[in-house]
Amino acid sequence: MISVLAGFTGLFEAIRLGGLNREEKLLMQRVIWRRCLLRDDWAAINNTEAKDDQSVEDQLKTTALYWTLKACFKNRIFEKDLTIKPLIPQEVIGACTDELEQRWSRIDASMRERMMQDHQMEDDALTPYLETARLEKWHQQALEIAKVDFRNEIGAETSEGSIMDREAARTLEELEKSIADNEKGRAEDMLMSKPRHKAKPKFDGRGSASGSVRSGSFRSSVKLY
């Protein structure tokens, strides 16, 4: 599914960057959206018997249409080129079934005929969904759900970013306070604690600090030569 969706989204990007004129862009979009719609069984989706609203919505969220629309919103494709848009099912019917783009005029006539037949087969497969499976309704609903989900994701990312910023600021503030408290405690400990080094005993020439050396003993111990 992911590779298929990436393919549809990539095709829209190719249309945007391909240097096509407005008419060519529209024709190519019609073909792409038609093939996107044909990825799912809309008759099964339209069978809502014994399904509540949430179940129906969950099923719509499994369709290639929903995920392609959401990917287009996420990649800003509709914003980057206003000629690219989510075409409704009725607009995609008939694309390349009567005539092909001018670019295909150089290929063999029989090849062009086969290509148009392939496009007609796609039309034939999609038309019953329009007639009996309320495809227009499901397309509109999938579009609205994709819009809402995209907006919610953007809001969640923005909110998450704000929360992370606030948490980071709070953590930094707590860290700075902890460091300040530790430094204050160390300073107080240094002021209140006893010196770790011992005072050296004073020597006044009369004896040691313990008084064990008598006055003049240093001189008497030295021999005179």
Q: Domains of the chain: which residue ranges?
A: 1-163
Give, in order, the Cα–Cα distances in Å from 66 to each of 27, 113, 140, 195.
Answer: 21, 32, 10, 76
How far is it, in rounded angstroms, from Cα 107 to Cα 49? 49
Task: Give the residue carrying structure tokens 């995209």.
Answer: 150
Give me the percent of the chain exceeding a pLDDT of 70.
64
Mean pLDDT calculated for residue range 188-203: 44
Q: Is the pLDDT of residue 86 over 90?
A: yes
Q: Is the pLDDT of residue 189 over 80?
A: no
Q: Is the pLDDT of residue 92 over 90?
A: yes
Q: Quick one: pLDDT at residue 26?
A: 93
How far is it, in rounded angstroms, from Cα 170 to Cα 182? 18
Q: Which of 29-38, 189-198, 214-223 has the highest mean pLDDT?
A: 29-38
Rounded mean pLDDT of the chain? 77
Looking at per-residue pLDDT, the higher value among 71 and 178 belongs to 71
Looking at per-residue pLDDT, the higher value among 168 and 49 belongs to 49
How far is it, in rounded angstroms, from Cα 101 to Cα 21? 11
pTM (2 decimals)? Answer: 0.67
Q: Quick one: pLDDT at residue 165?
A: 54
Q: Which two tokens stand for residue 69?
A: 């629309």
How far is it, in rounded angstroms, from Cα 51 to Cα 58? 10
How far is it, in rounded angstroms, from Cα 38 to Cα 65? 9
Mean pLDDT calculated for residue range 76-81: 92
Q: Is the pLDDT of residue 203 over 80?
A: no
Q: Is the pLDDT of residue 10 over 80?
A: yes
CB atoms within 10 A of CB 32: 22
Mean pLDDT calculated for residue range 59-70: 96
pLDDT in tens, 107-153: 788 888 888 899 999 999 999 999 999 999 999 999 999 999 999 99
Lowest mean pLDDT among 10-19, 103-112, 167-176, 208-217: 208-217
Q: Which two tokens stand for residue 169?
A: 């600021």
DSSP for 84-96 reads: -----HHHHTTTT
Task: Report the first-to-last Cα separation within the chain, whole angstroms.
Answer: 111
Cβ contacts of 87 within 8 Å, gap of 6 or more? 29, 30, 33
Q: Quick one: pLDDT at residue 213?
A: 41
CA angle at 66 for the pair 49 and 123, rounded to the nearest 5°? 80
Mean pLDDT calculated for residue range 47-66: 95
